[in-house]
């Protein structure tokens, strides 16, 4: 082959040279962020500025500065001041497994295109199933994100529960699922994709503490039934994204059992709590679930994107996308667990199982216990600090590492406070020293923190609160900004 450009693309010397440079640069980046050598948690630019930079870079930038520029001009999840969205500061070793997955590029759809990662996938999902407390009938597989996993679980539920074979025959029946009003929006989206429509999403109101009000389940179920809706599944959030509050899985599980519904637990964020002796209680009743979703890239220190979808009875996973009506394996059939593409939405996916396995092999499953426990402890500690602080109010006492709070001021109305908190958050973003997010709950604008970094301490929290008070006071005193 004569083409010198293609020779250059596959040059092993260049790979080694660029690789060493990238590792050195990332090591420096990690050291800077973890040890806070640079003050910022986010390098904020408005989208138009960022777009201009990258248009210009393609023309004029130096290739050897590319990786560094990408790394710098972004959000630093390894900085202890990164306490925003629920993405984990990836364990550095998983950057290496990410590289291996990218380079080997086995597509995983069939066993032959990913033999080691397919077998490894079975091992890691077995560990998760066991932790949930299920027996040997349980199976799991990995897929690209909680959103896709929730959709897949609901498709499995529909096939498993209904007599009608919607996958093959389509349907004009009114079908529905039950889910709390605080559930992640992807459950709503999944239901709509499945053709349930708005009326098929039976939203269960929450209690004062943003947890599904299980006392109204029977009433809501009968109400839907009277309207001719056949409900096939109920979804519990563990926890719900906005507030980090866990639904009562025990009560939902009993209700599902009583009505013959599929019980799905969206544990994208908190499912990893099965590893924590101290916080396992948040998931009490999870073993009653028919399916559970756990995101590796949230509370398990793995890189985006890797999610486990686990089923109490693995057989049902074979049915989800099956064209055959008699999909369930008989005893004499061979269970081809190793062809994960039959069960996943994706055809091609990454070798994501190797991230999980590497963590287990290098650090043991205690590493997941250590991580979850540390972060939930810090969520509680931050909650206590807010509670004691005269200038702040909590949305609810946190049950996890997610904390919603707002700045308060006796002389300001709800509208003024909402505006004030939104402005504070915008100033924090543009300033970049801390990265936190925001959410709306029952008409109030809240600041929202998710403690994702095991090195975030109370001192960091105190500095954040001091900074917010200062920003808010400045905004209040320049009356023009708050009207």
Say how far apart CA 79 and CA 37 lie, in whole Å. 10
Shorter beta-carbon distance to ligand PLP: residue 140 or 432: 140
Q: Indicate the residue among 152 and 358 with the shorter CB distance to ligand PLP.
A: 152
| Position with the least CB separation from ligand PLP | 146
What are 7's two structure tokens? 């020779």
DSSP alpha helices (H): ranges in 66-145? 66-72, 93-104, 115-132
Least separation in angstroms between residue 186's CB and ligand PLP is 5
Beta carbon of residue 48, minimum distance to ligand PLP (angstroms, whole number): 26
Which residues, in sequence order, are bridge partners of residue 406?
393
Name the pairing type of β-strands 262-266 and 307-311: unpaired
Nearer to ligand PLP, 159 or 184 (CB): 184
In the bound state with ligand PLP, the residue whose beta carbon lies nearer, of 57 and 345, is 345
To the nearest whole angstrom, how small is the minimum distance from the Cβ of residue 240 to ligand PLP?
6
In the complex, minimum distance from the CB of residue 449 to ligand PLP, in angstroms, rounded to a whole number: 15
Residue with Cβ nearer ligand PLP (296 or 432): 296
Closest separation in Å from C-beta 192 to ligand PLP = 15
Q: Are 168 and 208 in contact (CB under 8 A)?
A: no
DSSP state string for 388-400: H-TTEEESS--SS
* Residues at the interface with ligand PLP (CB under 6 A): 86, 145-147, 184, 186, 237, 241, 266, 268-269, 295, 307
Q: Report whether 231 contacts 239 (CB < 8 A).
A: no
Helix (H, G, I), strand (E, B) or coil at 297: helix
Task: Give min distance, CB of 286 to ligand PLP, in A.
Answer: 14
Closest CA to 125 of 304, 280, 352: 352
377-389 burial, b for 16+ CB within 10 Å, e for fewer? bbbbbbbebbeeb
CA pair distance 247, 237, nearest whole angstrom = 6
Closest separation in Å from C-beta 437 to ligand PLP:
13
Give the nearer residue to ligand PLP in terms of CB position, either 287 or 295.
295
**Which of residues 318 and 344 has its CB atom nearest to ligand PLP in the complex?**
344
Ramachandran region, residue 291 (left: φ > 0; alpha: ψ -120 to 50; beta: rest):
beta
Closest of 112, 100, 105 to residue 340, by C-alpha:
112
């Amino acid at each position: 082959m004569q083409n010198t450009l293609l020779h250059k693309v596959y040059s092993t010397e260049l790979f080694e040279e660029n690789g060493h440079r990238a590792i050195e640069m990332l090591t420096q980046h990690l050291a800077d962020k973890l040890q806070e050598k640079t003050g910022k948690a986010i390098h904020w630019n408005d989208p138009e500025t960022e777009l201009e930079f990258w248009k210009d870079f393609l023309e004029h930038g130096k290739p050897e500065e590319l990786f560094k520029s990408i790394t710098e001009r972004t959000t630093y999840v390894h900085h202890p001041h990164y306490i925003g969205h629920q993405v984990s500061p990836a364990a550095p070793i998983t950057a290496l497994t990410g590289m291996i997955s990218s380079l080997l590029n086995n597509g995983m759809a069939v066993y032959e295109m990913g033999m080691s990662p397919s077998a490894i996938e079975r091992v890691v999902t077995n560990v998760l199933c066991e932790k949930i407390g299920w027996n040997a009938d349980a199976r799991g597989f990995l897929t690209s994100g909680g959103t896709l996993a929730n959709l897949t679980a609901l498709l499995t539920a529909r096939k498993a529960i209904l007599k009608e074979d919607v996958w093959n025959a389509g349907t004009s029946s009114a079908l529905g699922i039950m889910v709390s009003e605080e559930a992640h929006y992807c459950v709503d989206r999944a239901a709509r994709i499945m053709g349930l429509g708005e009326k098929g999403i039976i939203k269960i109101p929450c209690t004062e503490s943003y947890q599904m009000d299980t006392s109204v389940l029977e009433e809501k179920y009968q109400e839907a039934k009277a309207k001719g809706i056949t409900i096939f599944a109920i979804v519990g959030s563990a926890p719900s994204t906005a507030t980090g509050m866990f639904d009562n899985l025990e009560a939902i599980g009993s209700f599902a059992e009583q009505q013959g519904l599929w019980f799905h637990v969206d544990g994208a964020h908190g499912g990893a709590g099965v590893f924590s002796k101290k916080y396992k209680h948040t998931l009490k009743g999870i073993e009653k679930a028919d399916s559970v979703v756990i995101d590796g890239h949230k509370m398990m220190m793995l890189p985006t994107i890797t999610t486990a979808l686990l089923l109490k009875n693995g057989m049902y996973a074979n049915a989800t996308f099956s064209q055959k009506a008699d999909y369930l394996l008989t005893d004499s059939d061979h269970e081809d667990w190793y062809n994960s593409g039959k069960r996943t939405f994706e055809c091609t996916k990454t070798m994501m199982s190797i991230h999980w396995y590497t963590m287990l092999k290098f650090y043991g499953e205690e590493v997941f216990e250590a991580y979850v426990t540390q972060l939930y402890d810090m969520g509680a500690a931050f909650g206590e600090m807010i509670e004691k602080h005269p200038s702040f109010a909590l949305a609810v006492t946190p049950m996890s590492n997610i904390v919603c709070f707002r700045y308060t001021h006796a002389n300001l109305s709800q509208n003024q406070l909402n505006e004030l908190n939104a402005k504070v958050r915008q100033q924090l973003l543009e300033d970049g020293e801390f990265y936190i997010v925001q959410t709306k709950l029952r008409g109030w604008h809240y600041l929202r923190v998710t403690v994702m970094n095991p090195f975030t301490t109370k001192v960091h929290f105190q500095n954040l609160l001091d900074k917010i008070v200062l920003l808010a006071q400045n905004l209040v005193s320049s009356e023009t900004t708050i009207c």
